[in-house]
């Protein structure tokens, strides 16, 4: 195994803990906060979580450790998509556990929740853990997308815990995984299994965020990595002066990642799905908006630009959602085979024209043929359109091209338009965590163990005051039920952690909105460059613009 110079060097990095956790395990005590209630639907949530609802928020502070001595055997899983810093959560958890008692044991279940169901695990020791300190990826134990949500599964988990003497599980995951952590905690409490459950807020998408959780881990590093590349591309655009770059970025439905990257790099265009939905914008309006920037820049001789497109954008365009729903209907059940049997694309097109409403056909008709075909030819096992596979960066550049042709015909545009497409996602999910994420994650893990040690269950490990230096961070725990409301999922009412979309009256969006007109028509690019782990603190320890604006 050949390690890179950076990896070897990062092993030496000592993550910074919140000041209140820096005095050693024996000097950490609990300060009780207020009792909590869920953000909405209190009665329903309370009824669903009779044993874990309404508990107090707590913070840790310096003071004599009053937890009961007990040998701790803990299990940990990583759930869902990779996020930088996941390894440090495990390292922080391990270090606090071992610092409390050398005899304590940490099990890592492999491949996500399925590892817990299949009893597939490793037992961590120093030598193994040390290979993963301050590194990216989830390869320490792997991850997976199995949902841990049924009573049958919970019973299996209880069995596995009993077998190993495990009395606490730490689940590192996003909003769904932490929702399930709360349900599992309630199950364990109701059934007197004696097993605690603690969650840790993970996701590069930034949509696990609320008045308690200031940000999910991984968002900082992933957006810095994408911003590095977007900035490099901006500098290339501004040097070559001949391309328009359409850059799609990961982030699922919400546009947090796109917005943060825009705040970092000041591109000409950044679409925000939440705004498009709120304004009920059509594809044509969005394309017109981009084409205006292209034309106004072309008038200055600038036939170049950069546009950021969030991954989830098409779901937010009302007319497009309708089109997708109609297509799913049109090809439901046996109709797919009937459609597939049509010999040529022309025949298929006629079938589509016949089957869609006039309004949806108008939307369909303006799509580039490659996207039209994709909508009908590539479908998931249930016959549905695979929205996440739609190459929206190509969709919008094609629509803009059409708009520019109109402008050219009208004599209002006389430039050149050469688009280039990019999609950034996998590049950022496993980067070496930034100092911020390395510190934050280590603290979350360390803190998670303290919550276990003090007997809490159904809590999310919470570290806050994050725009300040780590010394001033506040460590504690929050009942997960506090963040829940009831939402309709697959036709059923479910208690879930409310997913955070970009708030259009929030400071990050407001800042973007106040500046984007200038960014659109001028060249205001900012080039963040590669994440730095060493050197001046103003370079190495910067948090996101989103967090800075939210907390200013």
Enumerate binding residues for a copy of itself (CB under 8 A): 1-7, 9-10, 81-82, 111, 135-139, 142-143, 225, 228-229, 231-233, 235-236, 238-241, 243, 245, 264, 266, 344, 346, 420, 422, 426-432, 524, 526-536, 538-540, 542
Minimum distance from residue 132 beta carbon to a copy of itself (Å): 11
Q: Quick one: which H or E segment has residue 401?
A: helix 392-409
How far apart are alpha carbons 142 and 79 in whole angstroms? 9
Q: Residue 122 pairs with which residues in a beta bridge?
A: 108
Q: Could you give the 3-state DSSP secondary structure of residue 2?
A: coil
Nearest CB to a copy of itself, comparing residues 141 and 367: 141
CB of 84 to a copy of itself, least distance (A): 9
Q: Is the CB of 474 or the CB of 527 nearer to a copy of itself? A: 527
Q: How far is the CB of 108 from a copy of itself (least distance, A)?
A: 13
Name which of 239 and 354 has its Cβ closer to a copy of itself. 239
Which tokens belong to 126?
A: 């120093």
Taking a C-beta distance cutoff of 8 angstroms, is the pair 447, 477 a contact?
A: yes
Q: Least CB distance from residue 154 to a copy of itself, whole Å? A: 26
Instruction: Give the separation between CA 437 and CA 251, rounded to whole angstroms.
Output: 17
Question: Please, which residue, 98 or 110, has the CB nearer to a copy of itself?
Answer: 110
- Least distance CB 346 / a copy of itself (angstroms): 8
Residue located via tokens 């739609």 = 390
For residue 495, the SS3 value is: strand
Instruction: Name which of 61 and 345 has its Cβ closer to a copy of itself.
Output: 345
Helix-then-strand count for the chain, H and E: 21, 15
CA–CA distances in Å: residue 195 to residues 80, 185, 269, 466, 549? 23, 8, 50, 30, 39
Q: Structure tokens of 511?
A: 């800042």
Judge whether 58 and 457 are in contact, CB under 8 Å: no
Give, as one character, the DSSP assignment of residue 172: E
Task: Count CB atoms within 10 A of the CB of residue 160.
Answer: 22
Report the nearest approach of a copy of itself to the CB of residue 21 (Å): 26
Q: Decide the pairing of beta strands 459-464 and 474-479.
A: antiparallel
Residue 370 beta carbon to a copy of itself: minimum distance, rounded to whole angstroms: 9
**Least distance between a copy of itself and beta carbon 304 (Å):** 11
Nearer to a copy of itself, 136 or 415 (CB): 136
Residue 256 CB, nearest distance to a copy of itself (Å)?
20
Q: What are phi and psi of 416, to 5 degrees?
A: -115, 140
Closest to a copy of itself by CB, 50 or 529: 529
Residue pointed to by tokens 């002066």: 241
Residues facing residue 193 across a β-bridge: none
> What DSSP character marks residue 549?
H
Q: What is the length of the chain? A: 552
* 119 is an active site residue: no
DSSP per residue, 438-491: HHHHHHHHHHHHHHHHTT--SEEEEEE-TTS-GGG-EEEEEEGGGGEEEEEETT
| 461 beta partners | 477
Nearer to a copy of itself, 153 or 266 (CB): 266
DSSP-derived pairing of the beta strands 105-109 and 305-310: unpaired
Spot the catalytic one: 205, 212, 220, 437. 205
Q: Which is nearer to a copy of itself, 316 or 511 (CB)?
A: 511
Burial (CB count <10 Å: 0-12, 13-18, 19+), residue 103: exposed
Beta-sheet pairing, 73-78 with 168-173 = parallel
- Show which residues are catalytic: 205
């Amino acid at each position: 195994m050949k390690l890179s110079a950076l990896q070897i060097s990062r092993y030496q990095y000592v993550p910074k803990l919140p000041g209140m956790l820096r005095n050693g395990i024996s000097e950490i005590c609990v300060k009780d906060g207020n009792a909590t209630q869920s953000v909405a639907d209190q009665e329903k949530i309370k009824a669903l979580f009779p044993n874990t609802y309404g508990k107090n928020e707590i913070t840790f502070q310096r003071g004599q450790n009053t937890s009961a001595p007990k040998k701790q055997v803990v299990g940990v899983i990583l759930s869902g998509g990779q996020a930088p810093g996941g390894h440090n959560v495990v390292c922080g958890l391990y270090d606090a556990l071992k610092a409390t008692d050398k005899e304590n044991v940490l099990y890592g279940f492999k491949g996500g929740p399925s590892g817990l169901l299949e009893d597939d695990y490793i037992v961590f020791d120093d030598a193994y853990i040390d290979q993963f300190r301050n590194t990216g990826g989830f390869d320490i134990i792997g991850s997976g997308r199995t949902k841990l949500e049924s009573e049958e599964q919970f019973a299996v988990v209880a069995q596995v815990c009993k077998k190993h003497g495990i009395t606490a599980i730490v689940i590192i995951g996003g909003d769904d995984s932490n929702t399930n952590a709360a349900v599992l905690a309630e199950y364990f409490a109701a059934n007197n299994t004696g097993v605690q459950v603690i969650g840790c807020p993970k996701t590069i998408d930034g949509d696990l965020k609320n008045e308690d959780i200031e940000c999910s881990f991984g968002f900082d590093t992933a957006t810095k990595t994408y911003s590095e590349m977007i900035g490099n591309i901006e500098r290339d655009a501004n040097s070559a002066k001949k391309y328009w770059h359409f850059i799609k970025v990961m982030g699922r439905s919400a546009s947090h990642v796109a917005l943060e990257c825009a705040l970092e790099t000041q591109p000409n265009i950044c679409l925000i799905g939440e705004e498009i939905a709120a304004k009920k914008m059509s594809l044509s309006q969005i394309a017109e908006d981009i084409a205006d920037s292209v034309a106004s820049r072309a008038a200055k001789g600038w036939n170049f630009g950069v546009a950021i497109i969030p991954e989830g954008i098409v779901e937010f365009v009302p007319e497009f959602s309708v089109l997708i729903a109609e297509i799913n209907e049109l090809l439901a059940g046996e109709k797919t085979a009937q459609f597939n049997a049509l010999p040529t694309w022309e025949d298929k097109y006629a079938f589509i024209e016949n089957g869609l409403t006039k309004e949806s056909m108008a939307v369909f008709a303006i799509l580039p043929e490659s996207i039209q075909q994709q909508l009908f030819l590539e479908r998931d096992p249930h016959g549905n359109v695979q929205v996440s596979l739609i190459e929206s960066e190509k969709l919008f550049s094609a629509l803009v091209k059409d708009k520019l042709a109109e402008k050219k015909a009208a004599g209002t545009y006389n430039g050149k338009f050469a688009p280039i497409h990019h999609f950034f996602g996998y590049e950022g999910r496993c980067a070496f965590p930034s100092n911020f994420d390395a510190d934050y994650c280590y603290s979350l893990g360390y803190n998670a163990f303290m919550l276990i040690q003090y007997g809490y269950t159904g809590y999310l490990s919470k570290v806050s005051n994050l725009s300040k230096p780590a010394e001033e961070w506040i460590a504690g725990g929050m009942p997960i039920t506090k963040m829940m409301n009831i939402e309709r999922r697959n036709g059923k009412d479910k208690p879930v952690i409310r997913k955070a979309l970009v708030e259009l009256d929030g400071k990050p969006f407001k800042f973007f909105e106040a500046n984007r007109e200038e960014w659109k028509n001028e060249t205001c690019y900012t080039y963040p460059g590669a994440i730095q782990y060493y050197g001046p603190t103003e370079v190495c320890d910067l948090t996101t613009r989103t967090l800075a604006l939210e907390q200013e």
